[in-house]
């Protein structure tokens, strides 16, 4: 005798088990600090980068950034790896003095927690810098997992760091929503098979348009946005 089929569960307003957050430019207002450090350090080695050129590599691991520019305009003296260390030292000092949370960042984390979601930080920054930012923002206990792309074979737009974060949380990637600001991060989230909420510094990039939701600020993450996100991402 067959059992009667139970009615389908009602549509879940938040069909996600985990939220993965980028760090630079999303949780912390550090992208201007990165650009200032890159302009200064590269300039000292004879490569005059503009602010716009620095934006073009946003989201990449710093070692990839220095190799990228060295491949286009080689400089004499230190290796790309040594220049990457110089940039990191400069950014670290700026973070200690100036880093502050982005508008709505702390409320966004709390909003995900209220929905019972596990939280991970998945950043292209090295782990030591992530730890400094987390401490400065008072978020030492905010995340269930913290992952750095420095430990991956490639940085964003490769999805490795997001997939590692999902594994660390014990959550299916299809049940994760990523919060990102950089085009490379949006692409990484979509390649990973995850939903994505983009909060770009400049929303016109074609990669950003691939996000499921685009917000002007994390301050705009409200019940209506969660509803739109759920509607665009059917439960898995």
* Domain definitions of the chain by residue range: 18-28+100-232, 31-98
- 40 in active site: no
> According to CATH, what is the number of the domain 31-98?
1.10.150.240
Give the whole-angstrom CA distance, residue 122 versus residue 131: 12
Show the tokens assigned to 143.
Answer: 């995340």
Give the pLDDT confidence of 128-175 residue by residue, as tens digits: 999 999 999 999 899 999 999 998 999 999 999 999 999 999 999 999
pTM above 0.85, yes or no: no
pLDDT at 234: 61
Catalytic residue among 17, 22, 158, 212: 22
Q: What is the pLDDT of residue 206?
A: 83
Candidates 24, 158, 181, 212; catalytic one: 24
How confident is residue 236, by pLDDT bands cut at 50, 70 and 90?
Answer: very low
Q: Any catalytic annotation for residue 24?
A: yes
> Among 3.40.50.150, 3.30.70.20, 3.30.420.140, 3.40.50.1000, what is the CATH number of 18-28+100-232?
3.40.50.1000
Q: Quick check: 201 pLDDT over 90? A: no
Q: Which residues contact 42 (CB under 8 A, 6 or more apart)?
A: 48, 49, 69, 83, 87
The answer to whether 219 and 111 have CB atoms below 8 angstroms apart is: no
Average pLDDT (203-224) is 92
pLDDT in tens, 173-193: 999 999 999 999 999 999 999
Listed range (64-68, 78-82, 83-87, 201-205) with the worst mean pLDDT: 201-205
Three-state DSSP at 64 gives helix
Which residue from 235, 104, 110 is spatially nearest to 175, judged by alpha carbons? 235
Q: Give the Cα-Cα-Cα angle 150, 175, 234 (nearest 5 degrees).
A: 135
178 close to 196: Cβ distance less than 8 angstroms:
yes
Over 60: is that where the pLDDT of 1 sits?
A: no
Provide long-range contacts, Cβ within 8 A and 24+ apart, for 128-134. 128/92, 129/88, 129/91, 129/92, 129/95, 130/23, 132/92, 132/95, 132/96, 133/23, 133/27, 133/28, 133/30, 133/95, 133/99
Report the range of poorest mean pLDDT among 24-28, 66-70, 228-232. 228-232
Q: Tokens in use for 128?
A: 């030591």
């Amino acid at each position: 005798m067959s059992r009667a089929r139970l009615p389908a569960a009602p549509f879940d307003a938040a069909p996600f088990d985990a939220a993965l957050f980028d760090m630079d430019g999303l949780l912390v207002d550090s992208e201007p600090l990165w650009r200032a450090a890159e302009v200064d350090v590269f300039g000292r080695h004879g490569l005059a980068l503009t602010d716009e050129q620095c934006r073009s590599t946003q989201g990449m691991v710093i070692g990839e950034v220095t190799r990228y520019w060295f491949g286009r305009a080689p400089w004499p003296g230190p290796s790309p790896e040594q220049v990457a260390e110089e940039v990191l030292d400069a950014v670290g000092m700026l973070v200690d003095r100036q880093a502050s949370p982005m508008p709505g960042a702390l409320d966004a984390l709390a909003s995900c927690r209220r929905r019972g979601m596990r939280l991970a930080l998945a950043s292209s920054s090295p782990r030591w810098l992530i730890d400094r930012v987390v401490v400065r923002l008072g978020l030492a206990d905010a995340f269930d997992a913290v992952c750095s792309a420095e430990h991956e074979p490639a940085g964003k737009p490769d999805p490795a760091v997001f997939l590692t974060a999902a594994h660390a949380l014990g959550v299916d990637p299809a049940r994760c929503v990523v919060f990102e600001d950089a085009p490379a991060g949006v692409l990484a989230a979509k390649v990973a098979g995850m939903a994505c909420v983009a909060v770009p510094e400049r929303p016109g990039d074609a990669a950003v348009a691939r996000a499921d939701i685009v917000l002007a600020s994390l301050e705009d993450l409200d019940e209506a946005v969660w509803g739109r996100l759920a509607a665009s991402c059917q439960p898995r």
